[in-house]
Amino acid sequence: MEAQKVDMFIMTNAKYFESHQLPAIRDRLLEIDDSKWAIIQTLQFKDPTISLIVSLLGGQLGIDRFLIGDTGLGIGKLLTCGGLGIWAIVDWFLIMGATREKNVDKLRQVI
Amino acid sequence: MSSTLSSRKLYTILLIACATGYFWIFYNYAYNPGYQEGVNTCIIKQVTSIPCPSCGTTRAVLTLFNLQLLESLYWNPIGLIIVGIMVFAPIWIAIDLILKKDSLYLFYGKIERFFRIRWVAIISIILILANWIWNIQKGL
């Protein structure tokens, strides 16, 4: 794809991905065909800030994990009182990274 | 199935959770024989003084290990699921590691997909909410 389009995509979506993954994403986007641009543009990514807010409010019930699609871990958190409260607190710090990983997975499925 | 959660990571999480669970149960069994409310780890209960859906699970697991099934169900039915996971997960993981298979990982994926079916999710949420209401009414 054209460098201009790719850079525009990176600029508008940088906050959804881990910063160390951005160069690889950019290289991959430059390689792929122009026909995928429409699909890539319609992808909806999860906002890490939203998942952090949900984690702070409903992390004890595993709602943050359900939100980003980790249903199994969400059930685990729900049934164990947020992992005795410890896992819930640990996830306040992990959930933003986990959300970004999920977004990269979603993008990888297309490109 | 999420591709970020590898089978090794899942097994590590499960083993740590089971080990913590056994330690927690042993601690409560040894130092809290009357199932009094001991150390309270529930953030929701500490902040709002309303019990969460899984409050009382420790007491349920302890009474179940004493073979008092009805009392265990009274404290919290979630205890049954927890005991099942705590007993079978380490055995299943050991078998998987010995036979070098991923059967538990594949099963976990199936469970995840099962709970994403709309009606299953709705029924589960209703059950959890009912359990929550029951917990509040019991005043755990």
- One pLDDT digit (tens) per residue for chain A, 111 residues: 788 888 888 888 888 998 888 888 888 888 888 888 888 888 889 999 999 999 998 888 889 999 998 888 898 888 888 888 888 899 999 999 999 999 988 888 888
Q: A60–B57: do the CB atoms touch at under 8 Å?
A: no
* pLDDT score recorded for residue B34: 64
**How many structural domains is chain A composed of?**
1
**How many structural domains is chain B composed of?**
1
Radius of gyration of chain B (CA): 17
Q: B115–A70: do the CB atoms touch at under 8 Å?
A: no
The C-alpha atoms of residue A73 and residue A88 are separated, in whole angstroms, by: 11
Closest-CA distance of chain B to residue A81, Å: 5
Which chain A residues have a beta carbon less than 8 Å from that of B20?
83-84, 86
Q: What is the 3-state secondary structure (H, E, C) of chain A?
A: CCHHHHHHHHHHHHHHCCHHHHHHHHHHHHHCCHHHHHHHHHCCCCCHHHHHHHHHHHHHHCHHHHHHCCHHHHHHHHHCHHHHCHHHHHHHHHHHHHHHHHHHHHHHHHC
Closest-CA distance of chain A to residue B57, Å: 8
* pLDDT score recorded for residue B38: 61
Closest-CA distance of chain B to residue A7, Å: 26
Report residue A97 as tokens: 């990274």
Which chain B residues have a beta carbon less than 8 Å from that of A106?
none
* pLDDT score recorded for residue B2: 45
Residue B1 lies in a domain: no
Can you tell me the ipTM of this complex?
0.81
Full domain range(s) for residue B80: 7-138
Residue B98 lies in a domain: yes
Full domain range(s) for residue A27: 3-110
Q: B115–A75: do the CB atoms touch at under 8 Å?
A: yes
| Parts of chain B with a pLDDT under 70 | 1-4, 33-39
Residue B59 lies in a domain: yes
Minimum Cα–Cα distance from A66: chain B residue: B116
Which chain B residues have a beta carbon less than 8 Å from that of A97?
none
Which of B22, B44, B123 best tests the A interface by mutation, with the highest count of A CBs <10 A? B44
* pLDDT score recorded for residue B1: 41
Residue B2 lies in a domain: no
